[in-house]
Amino acid sequence: MEHSQERHISETLKEKNIVLKGADPITTHGFTQVPNFLLRSASLSPGAKLAVAMLLSYAWQNDYCFPGQKRLAVDIGVTDRSVRTYLKELQDAGIPEVERRGLGKTNFYTIFLKHRDRG
């Protein structure tokens, strides 16, 4: 069985018509991976998709996160109320489990990256 020759990433990027300017191998501020099933979900609003992407950006290296709703709102560019709406939508879809930690403290989010039976 023949193995195909590995190509440099720049060749792959050219083939797919993607240009990344100013990006170093890891990028200055990191990056976030979002599972395609979330991006393509017809049942989630664009705001909820952005909210889960932001939660993942906080959690990707630690497997957990606990940002405040104000921080989420600033980072997403929406109001606190919109964040609460998006988080409720995501909770109804079973994506994050939210543990309330008490008055004045941030919530603790566990994000499920596959379908789970909440039954």
**Going residue by residue through the chain (119 aa), what tens digit of pLDDT does each one get?**
444 567 665 565 445 455 556 666 666 567 788 888 899 999 999 999 999 999 888 876 666 677 788 989 999 999 999 999 999 999 999 888 888 888 888 878 888 877 555 54
What is the chain's length?
119
**Rg over CA atoms, the chain:** 18
Structure tokens at 16: 């797919």
Report how far Cα 115 is from the mean position of its chain's Cα atoms.
Answer: 16
pLDDT of residue 62: 64
- The one-letter amino acid at 25: P
18 falls within a domain: no
| Distance from C-alpha of 23 to C-alpha of 82, rounded to nearest angstrom | 31
3 falls within a domain: no
CATH value at residue 74: 1.10.10.10
Three-state helix/strand/coil letters over 9-65? HHHHHHHCCCCCCCCCCCCCCCCCCCCHHHHCCCCCCHHHHHHHHHHHHHHCCCCCE
| Distance from C-alpha of 29 to C-alpha of 17, rounded to nearest angstrom | 23
pLDDT of residue 119: 47
Q: Could you tell me the pTM of the whole model?
A: 0.69
pLDDT of residue 23: 61
Residue 104 belongs to domain spanning: 32-111
86 falls within a domain: yes
DSSP category for residue 78: S
The count of structural domains within the chain is: 1
